[in-house]
Amino acid sequence: METTAYQQYSEESGDWLRKGRARLLAHLVREFGPERRPLELLEVGAGVGQNLSVLAEFGAVDANEVSPLGQEAIAKAGAARTLYGTSLPFQLDRRYDVICALDVIEHIEDDRAALRWIHDHLSPGGIFVATVPAYPWLFSDHDRALQHFRRYTAGSFRAALPDELHVEACAYFNQLLFPAAVGSRAVWSAARKLRPRKTSMKQPSPKSGLASSALEAVLRAEVDLIARGYRPSFGLSVFCVAKRRAA
């Protein structure tokens, strides 16, 4: 991820989208994760640690983050029991009840090798929770600034998972805002072409105020629908929960 884009990501770590994803994460761990407590959890690509407090409600949390900026933020907050600073796959003699990767797998060139590593480090009956950006046709300068290798459909992400993982749920997220977001992305991309900048930046997002609060409320409502069993058939992101089969 380009440094400028990562700094923008850090500054927006408390924004409406990340709060919505954290709410979705908590629901998916509660619904599909092992019932026992405490759990052993790992977040891959933990960023600045914005999800670690959510995961800590379920047990002991380790983090994996390769960016020095992210590592510094996580270490300063003391949010993780152990912090791994190496890219997947790496040597690790530990298994987890929950491994999550929220908007991470698209950053990894060999996604199948990373997903195999995740499977191998799940305990039997453990779950993998992921979100990834949706639809290859939406790939733009926004993705290039964030150093994405690809975007997915629900089907293509399922196909990338190891066969030994059983998919519990795989659908879309951020459906209610999808039409407006696609239009906004198109306008932003056109403006970038007309007035190019030396540094490629991700599309800006509201960080505070009424707009951010309204968007957060929309995502909260969508997560509540998902918790009631609704599975969106389109959206800006794909979410997936897959379980390692019990031994």
28: its two tokens: 């998916």
CA angle 91, 97, 102 (to 5 degrees): 75
What pLDDT shows up at residue 204? 55
What pLDDT shows up at residue 12? 46
Average pLDDT over residues 214-223: 94
pLDDT above 90: percentage of residues in the chain = 72
pLDDT at 13 over 50: no
What pLDDT shows up at residue 23? 96
What pLDDT shows up at residue 182? 75
What pLDDT shows up at residue 183? 67
Residue 4 DSSP SS3: helix
Distance (Å, whole) CA 152 – CA 133: 6
Distance (Å, whole) CA 81 – CA 220: 29
Q: pLDDT tens for residues 142-180?
A: 898 889 999 999 999 999 999 999 999 999 999 988 887
Of 85, 26, 35, 86, nearest to 55 (Cα)? 26
**Count of beta carbons in the 10 Å neighbourhood of residue 56:** 15
Question: Mean pLDDT in the chain?
Answer: 89
113: its two tokens: 């090798």
Burial 105-129 (b: 16+ CB within 10 A, else e): bbbbeebeebbbbbbebbbeebbbb
Give me the domain span that covers residue 188. 3-244
Full-model pTM: 0.88
Residue 67 DSSP SS3: coil
Give Cβ neighbours of residue 154 (< 8 Å, ≥ 6 apart).
134, 170, 171, 172, 238, 240
Q: In the chain, how many domains are there? A: 1
Distance (Å, whole) CA 116 – CA 99: 12
Strand order in the sheet with 122-133: 83-84, 59-64, 39-44, 96-102, 122-133, 237-244, 165-173
Q: pLDDT tens for residues 226-246?
A: 999 999 999 999 999 999 988
Q: The domain that contains 98 carries what CATH number?
A: 3.40.50.150
Distance (Å, whole) CA 164 – CA 193: 44
Q: pLDDT tens for residues 71-130?
A: 999 999 998 999 999 999 999 999 999 999 999 999 999 999 999 999 999 999 999 999
Which carries the bigger pLDDT value, residue 178 or residue 196? 178
What pLDDT shows up at residue 68? 95
